[in-house]
Amino acid sequence: TDAEEASSSIPDLDVLEASMLSQLGVQRKKEIDRGLTLVGPHRDDLAVLLGDYPAKGYASHGETWSMALALRLAEFHLLSADGSEPILILDDVFAELDSKRR
């Protein structure tokens, strides 16, 4: 399944932590010189698929909007899970969707 494929591509947490710490040490001077971060999850690409195809180029405007909203809601729930209280502001999020998707 898609969930199994996604989880299998994520390394063990200990391996991920060791790799990240190693790369942070290696890139530290470059990051300071450039004034930006070169290593971290915020630098990763996120592959969003619509079935077997990349969403970019295949998803409709409404599907793209729905995926963006789903990602934002997932982020909100992830931040909430550790006890923090993030603020979620949604302004007319369904305006971009057709009547069937509203």
Amino acid at 94: F
Q: Does residue 19 surpass a pLDDT of 70?
A: yes
Question: Does residue 50 lie in a domain region?
Answer: no
* pLDDT tens by residue, 20-70: 899 999 999 999 999 999 988 888 888 899 989 999 989 988 888 889 999
CA 73 to chain CA mean position, Å: 11
From the list 97, 38, 90, the residue with the least C-alpha distance to 66 is 97
Examine the domain organization and report whether 30 and 69 are in the same domain. Answer: no
Domain that holds residue 66: 58-102
Question: Does residue 51 lie in a domain region?
Answer: no
- Whose tokens are 């603020």? That residue is 87
Question: Does residue 34 lie in a domain region?
Answer: yes
Domain count, the chain: 2
Name every residue whose Cβ is closer than 8 Å to that of residue 34 and which is 6 or more positions away in sequence.
none
Question: Does residue 91 lie in a domain region?
Answer: yes
Examine the domain organization and report whether 33 and 69 are in the same domain. Answer: no
Examine the domain organization and report whether 40 and 1 are in the same domain. Answer: yes
Q: Which of 11-25, 27-41, 69-83, 88-102 has the lowest mean pLDDT?
A: 88-102
Q: Which two tokens stand for residue 7?
A: 């989880």
On the CB side of 91, how many CA atoms lie within 13 Å of its CA? 0
Question: Does residue 84 lie in a domain region?
Answer: yes
Name every residue whose Cβ is closer than 8 Å to that of residue 72 and which is 6 or more positions away in sequence.
88
Question: Does residue 53 lie in a domain region?
Answer: no
